[in-house]
Structure 1
Amino acid sequence: MALLNVVLSFATLFFTLGLDQAYVREFHEADNKSLLLKTTVVPGLILLVATLAVSLIFGPLLSKIIFGLDSIGVSWLLAIALFCSFLSRFLSLVLRMNERGLAFSMSQLLPKAFLLVIILFFLLFDFAKTFECLLLANTLAIMLAFSIFAWNTRSEWYQSFFEKVNILQLQKMLSFGFPLILGGLAFWGMTSLDRILLSRWSSYSELAIYSVSVSFAAAATIFQSVFSTVWAPMVYKWASKDEGYDKITMVGRYTVLFVVIIFCLAGMLSWVISFFLPAQYSSVQWILVACLAYPLFYILSETTVVGIGIARKSAYSMLACILALLVNITCNFFLIPSFGAAGAASSTAVSFWAFLVFRTEFSIYVWKSLPRFRMYIYTLLAVIGSIIGSLKQASAAPYIYCFWFGLLLFCIFDYRHEVKMSINKIAKTISHYS
Structure 2
Amino acid sequence: MTPKKIAAFAIGPIGAALLSVISLPIVTWLFSQEDVGRLAMMQVTLGFSILLFGLGLDQAYVREFHEAEDKPALLKQTVLPGFSLLIVTLLILLSLGGTLSDWLFGIPETHLSVLVVVALLASYISRFLSLVLRMNERGLAYSMSQLLPKLLLLLIIGSYAITGVDKNLTMLVLANVAAISFVCVIYAWNTREEWYRSLRGKLDFVRLKGMLKFALPLIPGSLAYWGLTAVDKVFLRTYASFEELGIYSVSVSFAAAASILQSVFSTVWAPTVYKWASTGRGLDNINKVSRYILALVVLGFSIAGLMSWVVTIFLPNDYSAVQWIVVSCIGFPLLYTLSETTVMGIGITKRSSFSMAASALAFCVNLVGNWLLIPRFGASGAAVSTCISFLVFFVLRTEFSIYVWRPIPRTLLYTYTGIVVAGASIFTLWGELLGIWMSVFWLFVLGSCFWVFRREVLEVLRLILGYKRKFSTGPSA
**TM-score per shorter chain, which class?**
0.7 to 0.9
Structure 1 counterpart of 2:84, one-letter code: V
Shift of 1:307: 3.2
SS of residue matched to 1:425: helix
Distance 1:107-1:228 versus aligned 2 partners, 3 A rule: farther
Task: Note if 1:261 corresponds to 2:299.
Answer: yes
Shift of 1:138: 6.1
Task: Note if 1:300 corresponds to 2:338.
Answer: yes
Task: Note if 1:224 corresponds to 2:258.
Answer: no
Shift of 1:336: 3.2
Distance 1:310-1:103 versus aligned 2 partners, 3 A rule: farther
Cα distance in structure 2, aligned partners of 1:55 and 1:399 = 52
Task: Note if 1:21 corresponds to 2:55.
Answer: no
Cα distance in structure 2, aligned partners of 1:198 and 1:127 = 29
- 1:413 maps to 451
Q: Cα RMSD over matched residues?
A: 4.1
Among residues 64, 80, 92, which one is paired with 1:45 in the alignment?
A: 80
The range that moved more, 66-75 or 268-277, is 66-75
Asked if the contact 2:287–2:408 (Cα under 8 Å) also holds between the matched residues in 1, the reply is: yes
Structure 1 counterpart of 2:300, one-letter code: I
Cα distance in structure 1, aligned partners of 2:205 and 2:403 = 31
- 1:330 maps to 368
Task: Note if 1:423 corresponds to 2:465.
Answer: no
Task: Note if 1:362 corresponds to 2:371.
Answer: no
Among residues 278, 286, 289, which one is paired with 1:251 in the alignment?
A: 289
Shift of 1:381: 0.9
The range that moved more, 343-352 or 3-12, is 3-12
Asked if the contact 1:320–1:355 (Cα under 8 Å) also holds between the matched residues in 2, the reply is: yes
- Percentage of matched positions with identical amino acids: 48
Shift of 1:293: 0.8
Shift of 1:384: 1.5
The range that moved more, 416-425 or 362-371, is 362-371
Question: Could you list the per-position Cα deviations for residues 317-336 of structure 1 after superposition, in whole angstroms to 9, with x for gaps in the alignment?
Answer: 22212211211122233333
Distance 1:244-1:46 versus aligned 2 partners, 3 A rule: farther
Structure 2 counterpart of 1:67, one-letter code: S
Distance 1:395-1:329 versus aligned 2 partners, 3 A rule: same
Asked if the contact 2:123–2:184 (Cα under 8 Å) also holds between the matched residues in 1, the reply is: yes
Structure 2 counterpart of 1:327, one-letter code: V
Asked if the contact 1:41–1:90 (Cα under 8 Å) also holds between the matched residues in 2, the reply is: no
Cα distance in structure 2, aligned partners of 1:319 and 1:166 = 31
Shift of 1:210: 3.8
Structure 2 counterpart of 1:423, one-letter code: L
Structure 2 counterpart of 1:348, one-letter code: T
Shift of 1:393: 1.8
Question: Could you list the per-position Cα deviations for residues 100-131 of structure 1 after superposition, in whole angstroms to 9, with x for gaps in the alignment?
Answer: 32221112123334556688999999999998
Question: Could you list the per-position Cα deviations for residues 27-84 of structure 1 after superposition, in whole angstroms to 9, with x for gaps in the alignment?
Answer: 6xx444754x74465144223225415754x694275453367869975x76665444
Asked if the contact 1:308–1:314 (Cα under 8 Å) also holds between the matched residues in 2, the reply is: yes
Structure 2 counterpart of 1:93, one-letter code: L
Shift of 1:349: 1.9
Distance 1:142-1:276 versus aligned 2 partners, 3 A rule: closer
Task: Flag structure 2 segments of 5+ consecutive residues without an equivalent.
Answer: 1-38, 103-107, 473-477
The range that moved more, 380-389 or 79-88, is 79-88
Task: Note if 1:351 corresponds to 2:385.
Answer: no
Task: Note if 1:197 corresponds to 2:235.
Answer: yes
Asked if the contact 1:96–1:229 (Cα under 8 Å) also holds between the matched residues in 2, the reply is: no
Q: Please give the residue correspondences for 1:2-401 in structure 2 after superposition, counting only pairs within 5 Å.
A: 4-24=42-62, 30-32=66-68, 34-35=70-71, 38-39=73-74, 42-53=77-88, 56=91, 60-61=94-95, 64-67=98-101, 82-114=120-152, 142=180, 144-154=182-192, 165=204, 167=206, 171=210, 174=212, 176-198=214-236, 200-201=238-239, 207=245, 209-236=247-274, 239=277, 245-274=283-312, 281-401=319-439
SS of residue matched to 1:421: helix
Cα distance in structure 2, aligned partners of 1:132 and 1:280 = 22
TM-score by length of 2: 0.73
Distance 1:281-1:427 versus aligned 2 partners, 3 A rule: same
Structure 2 counterpart of 1:302, one-letter code: E
Structure 2 counterpart of 1:254, one-letter code: Y
The range that moved more, 242-251 or 41-50, is 242-251
Asked if the contact 1:97–1:233 (Cα under 8 Å) also holds between the matched residues in 2, the reply is: no
Distance 1:274-1:162 versus aligned 2 partners, 3 A rule: closer
SS of residue matched to 1:245: coil
Equivalent pairs, count: 428
Task: Note if 1:403 corresponds to 2:441.
Answer: yes
Asked if the contact 1:179–1:318 (Cα under 8 Å) also holds between the matched residues in 2, the reply is: no
Asked if the contact 1:19–1:41 (Cα under 8 Å) also holds between the matched residues in 2, the reply is: no
Shift of 1:353: 0.3
SS of residue matched to 2:407: coil
Structure 2 counterpart of 1:312, one-letter code: K
SS of residue matched to 2:290: helix
Asked if the contact 2:384–2:425 (Cα under 8 Å) also holds between the matched residues in 1, the reply is: yes
The range that moved more, 192-201 or 312-321, is 192-201
